[in-house]
Structure 1
C-alpha cells in the first residue's frame, strides 16, 4: 500500500494514533488540524506564562500506548516519562470527611474501613472484585472490538457463561447497583462519579460502567511535563515515520466522487486527493454538515437529548495553597440527586461537585513542587447547551462563585490570581467543537444499549472513517487512541480488500 494517501482531519489523540499506525505501514499520511497545536480536547492553556492542563488530566490504560508505540517500532519510555501514582484521588465532603483512594487495593480497603467501618470495607472489597470481573468480561469482546453489537457481544462472551453474561448488568442503573454495595452515601456518590468520566449520569447509566473503577485500580500515571506531552510525542512520531501535520488549516468540505470519499477541500480552496479519509471529530459535526452535505449523510445525527455532559472549567494560578491537596481532588456536593436533576433540566447546579487537578502537587501529600504560584484546573459538570445558550459574564461569575464556595464547604479555600483565570463554558466548547452543544464525550452512554449506539470506524460512505471520543469504544484518552487504531485497521483492511 506504499504511496496510497490517507488524509486525517483532526490531530486529537484518535487522529494521531491512526496516523502513527498508518505511517508505520508505509501509507502517505497528511493530518489537517485547524488549531496551532495537536491534542484536540487534550490541551493546555497558558496563564501567567505557564501551561496548565485544561482537558483530560488522568492517564490510564498505559498498555494502549505501549502497544501503539511498539507497533511503530519504538517504546513509550523513549518518548514520555511517566510514573505510577500511589494516590488515585483525594475526596472531600461538606461533613468534613476526607478519603484517599489508593493504587494499592489493601490500602483502599483500610481507608474505607476508617471512613465508614469494617462492614463497608468488606462491601468495598466485593465491589472491587465485581468491577474487575466486568472489565475482564468486556475487555476483548467490547473494548478491543471494532464495532460490537448486542448479539455479537452475547456470542463472544459465550452462551455457556451465564454468570459472566449476568455480571455486566446492563439493565440496572449504576446508581441502583452501587446501592447494593455501599450503605454509606458518600461512597455511593464517589463511585457513581465514574459515570461522568464519559459524560454520563450515574442515574441513567448502566451498572456496566462500574468497570471504570477497575481501570483506575490498574494504574493512574503521572506524565512529566503535563498531559500535553502525550499528543506532542505522538505528533513527533508521525513526523519521524514520514507523515505530515498541517496546523492552522481548516477542512471545509469532504468530496465524494464515484460513490466514495475522494478528497478534502480546505478553507483556502486547496484540494487534497485521498484514497481514504479519517475524521477525528465528534460524529455530530459530520452529521451537522460541518464537512459538507455529502459527508453529512454518512452518519446518523446525535439528537440533542442524547448528548453527553459539557463542562465549565477554570484554569488558574494560586499562591502557595496551604490546603492538603493531592494531584487529583474531588469536592462533592451534599445532594447528588439535586445536582443531576439540575443538569438533566439544563441548568447549572447550585452546589456543584468540583474536580481539581493540582498539577504541581506530588503524588500523595506534600506542598506544591514549585517556588512560585501553583497551577490548578477546576471542572464542574454543565449541560450541553452551548449551541443554544451563551453564558453571560454575570452567569460565569455566579458559576465561579458557586464552584469555589463548594470547595470551601469541603474545607479548601483557593485564592486564584484573577489575571490568570481562564474560563471555558459550554458555548466556548461549542466554538471549538461545532455541532456538539459543547458535549465533551459524544453520545451519553445512557440506557442498556447506549454504548452500542456510538458509531464505529466505518461510515455509510466508502472511504470515509471516524475516530475520537464520540466513536466506539468511547470517551477518554486511551479509548480515543483505541478508536484511532480501529480506524487505521479498517482503512488497511478495506484497501487490501479493494486491491484483491
Structure 2
C-alpha cells in the first residue's frame, strides 16, 4: 500500500475544476495525472475557430479574481505573471426595443448615478438598498458555504447564524426580491439576469442569488488573447509543478475493484491504475452510466425537470456596426414575464428572447479595430427533457428572433463565418445532461443543498466542476476543484 504522498490521483477532464484540483494536489506533493479527451485543456472555456479567428465560445469575463490569485500562488507564480488582464469599466450595456439604453458601470457609486439618470432618484435609492442586501447575502454565504465542503442546512445555519441567514430572504424568489427594490420593470429585468448566470429562472431562483451582484461589483476582467488563455496558463503552471497530462485520451469508463475506485479505461482499451480519481464532468453523465455501470450509483440521477437552462450560441467572425458596442451588451426582450414563463413553465424557446452579445475585442466603449472581430451571441434555451433533437425550424426561428432584435436596436452584424452551438451539441459534450450548461437548476432554497458535493458514495471517487458544489461559474468551478483535492487528501485508505 502506497503512503498518502505516493497515491496517484487521476483527474478526468482538464476544465477549470480539474486544473484547480491538479494544482492543489501538486502543491501538496501528490502525484497527479490529468486525462483529457480534447487536444487542449479548457473544457467549457473553449475557443471556436471561426473564419480564421479564435472566438470565445464560453464565459466572456473573469470574476472573483482573488480565487485565481490564490490558485496561481499555490503554483509559485502570480496571475499577472501568467496573463494580462484588463478590468472592464462597464458590467454591461442594456438595450430595450424602444431604444432606451442603460450603461451599468462596474463602480457601484457610478452605477447608482447612472440608474438615477435612467429611472429617477427612487430607482437610485432602490439600487443602493439592493446592493446592500446583495452584500449581506455574500457575507452570510461566502465563508460558511461557498468556499468549504458543502454543509447541510442546519450546519449552515449554525455557521452563518440563523438571524443573518434569514436576513438574506432564503425562502423568497429573486423575482419577488427585485420587485421590492425596483418599481421600474426594466431594472427588474436587468438584475433578474443574475439567475441566468447559473441557468435558472428568477421566477424560481432563491433571493440569495442577489449575491451575484456583489460578485460583479468586485470586478470583471477580460483576458488578453481570449478566455481560453486561462486554462492554458493553469495547465502550464500545473505541469511546472509536476502534473502529467494525457491529452487526446478519452475515458470510456471508471474501474472499480473491491468496492472502491481502481482507475480508468480509455476508449482505445488502455487501462490506467489510479488510487483516487477526481471526475471533472457533470455528475449527470456519471449517473447516466456513461462512465460505466459500476460507478453510476456513486451519485443520484438528476431528473430532467431539475436541469438548468441550456442555450443557443452563434460564434462569429465579422463586423458589428451601427452601435458603439462595449464588450457586453444585452438586448432585452420586450416582455420579460412572457420570455421567462416560456422558459420556466413551458420548456420552450420564447418567441422574443433576450440576446447577450459579447464583442470580445472590446474592453471599453470604443470601436473595434479594422477587419473582422470575434462576436458571440447567446440566448437561453430549455435543456432537452428527452432524446428529441432541436427542430431545425425552431433553430431557424430562434436565430431570426435573436438577430432581428439586434437589428431593430440599430446593430448590423455582417458575418464572414459562423459556428452554432445548440442544446444537442452541449448534450453530445456531456451525455445525460440534456445540454444543461450549469448542472442542476437552482430552484428554491433547498437547491443549494442538493448540488453534489466533492465526496461520492464510491470510495476514492470525487467530483469537481460547475455542476457540483459550490456551483456554476469560473471561480466556483475553481473552488470546487480545490475542495475535491482537499477531500481526496483527507480520505483514509
Q: TM-score range by the shorter chain?
A: over 0.9
C-alpha distance in structure 1 between counterparts of 2:68 and 2:450, whole Å: 26
Question: Which residue of structure 1 aligns with residue 328 of structure 2?
Answer: 328
Question: Aligned-pair distance for 1:248?
Answer: 1.4
Moved more, 71-80 or 173-182: 71-80
Kindly provide the CA deviation profile for residues 356-408 of structure 1, in whole angstroms up to 9, marking residues without a partner as x.
00011132x2101x221111001000010175222344332221111101222
1:84-95 to 2 correspondence within 5 Å? Answer: 84-95=87-98
Cα distance in 2 for residues equivalent to 1:67 and 1:436: 31
Cα RMSD over matched residues?
A: 1.2
Q: Which of 18, 25, 35 is 1:15 aligned to?
A: 18
> What secondary structure is seen at the aligned counterpart in 1 of 2:436?
coil
Offset at 1:320? 5.3
Q: Distance in 1 between matches of 2:463 and 2:127?
A: 38
Q: Which residue of 2 aligns with 1:479?
A: 476
Report if the CA contact (8 A) 2:15-2:44 is conserved. yes
Q: Is the 8 A contact 2:115 2:123 kept in 1?
A: yes
Q: How does 1:246-261 map to 2 (within 5 A)?
A: 246-261=246-261
Contact residue 321 and residue 411 of structure 2 kept, 8 A: no
Checking the alignment, whether the CA contact within 8 Å between 1:387 and 1:436 is kept in structure 2 is: no
Residue 446 (structure 1) shift: 0.3
Aligned to 2:399: 400
Aligned ranges for residues 250-289 of structure 1 at < 5 Å? 250-289=250-289
Aligned to 1:374: 373
Match of 2:110 in 1: 107
| Residue of structure 2 in register with 1:470 after alignment | 467
CA distance in 2, matches of 1:465, 1:169: 32
Return the alpha-carbon distance in structure 2 between the equivalents of residues 266 and 225 of structure 1.
33
Q: Is the Cα contact below 8 Å between 1:307 and 1:443 reproduced in 2?
A: yes
What is the CA distance between 1:277 and its match in structure 2?
0.3
Unaligned runs of 5+ in 1: none
TM-score normalised to the size of structure 2?
A: 0.97
**Contact 1:386 1:430 (C-alpha < 8 Å) held by counterparts:** no
Q: Name the residue aligned to 1:361.
A: 362
Judge conservation of contact 1:172–1:206 (CA < 8 Å) in 2. Answer: yes
Deviations 1:112-157 (A, max 9, x none): 0111001111111111111111101111011112112110110001
Contact 1:11-1:31 within 8 A present in 2 as well? yes
Q: How does 1:14-163 map to 2 (within 5 A)?
A: 14-159=17-162, 162=163
Does the 8 Å CA contact 2:308/2:438 hold for their aligned counterparts? Answer: yes
TM-score normalised to structure 1 length: 0.96
1:347 alignment partner in structure 2: 348
CA distance in 1, matches of 2:136, 2:86: 26
Shift of 1:43: 0.7
Query: 1:416 maps to what in 2?
Result: 415
How far the C-alpha of 1:169 sits from its partner, in A, is: 1.1
1:285 and 1:436 in contact (8 A); partners too: yes
Answer with 399-408 or 55-64: which moved more: 399-408
Measured against aligned partners, the alpha-carbon deviations of 1:445-495 in whole angstroms (never above 9, x if no partner) come to 00111111001000001100000000000000000000000000001111x
Aligned to 1:338: 338
Q: Could you tell me how far apart the structure 1 residues matched to 2:426 and 2:265 are?
A: 24
For these two proteins, the number of residue pairs brought into alignment is 489
Give per-residue Cα distances to partners, 1:213-239, cap 9 Å, x unaligned.
110011111111110000000111121
1:453 is the counterpart of 2:450: yes
Map of 1:442 onto structure 2: 439
Please give the secondary structure, in 1, of the residue aligned with 2:129: helix
Q: Deviations over 1:65-100 (max 9, x none)?
A: 111111222211111111211111111111211101
C-alpha distance in 2, partners of 1:182/1:225? 38
Distance 1:190 1:388 in 2: 33
Comparing 426-435 with 77-86, which one deviates more in the overlay?
A: 77-86
- How far apart in 1 are the matches of 2:82 and 2:388? 41
Residue in structure 2 matched with residue 391 of structure 1 by the alignment? 390
Q: Deviations over 1:301-338 (max 9, x none)?
A: 01000000000000012235231211011010011111
Counterpart secondary structure, 1:20:
helix
Give the Cα–Cα distance (whole angstroms) in 1 for the partners of residues 319 and 311 of structure 2: 25
Query: 1:190: Cα distance to partner?
Result: 0.5
In 2, the alpha carbon distance for the partners of 1:407 and 1:453 equals 38
Provide closer, same or farther for how the CA distance between residues 137 and 95 of structure 1 changes in structure 2, counting only shifts above 3 A. same
Contact 2:352 2:401 in 1 (8 A): yes
Post-superposition offset of 1:184: 0.3
Q: Partner of 2:410: helix, strand, or coil?
A: coil
Distance 1:17 1:178 in 2: 34
- The aligned counterpart of 1:187 is 187
For residue 170 of structure 1, what is the aligned residue in structure 2? 170
Q: Tell me the residue number matched to 1:226.
A: 226
Runs of 4+ in 1 over 4 A off after TM superposition: none
Q: Unaligned 5+ residue runs, structure 2?
A: none
Q: Tell me the CA shift for residue 411 of structure 1.
A: 3.2
Match of 1:489 in 2: 486
Output the CA distance in 2 between the equivalents of 1:389 and 1:187: 36
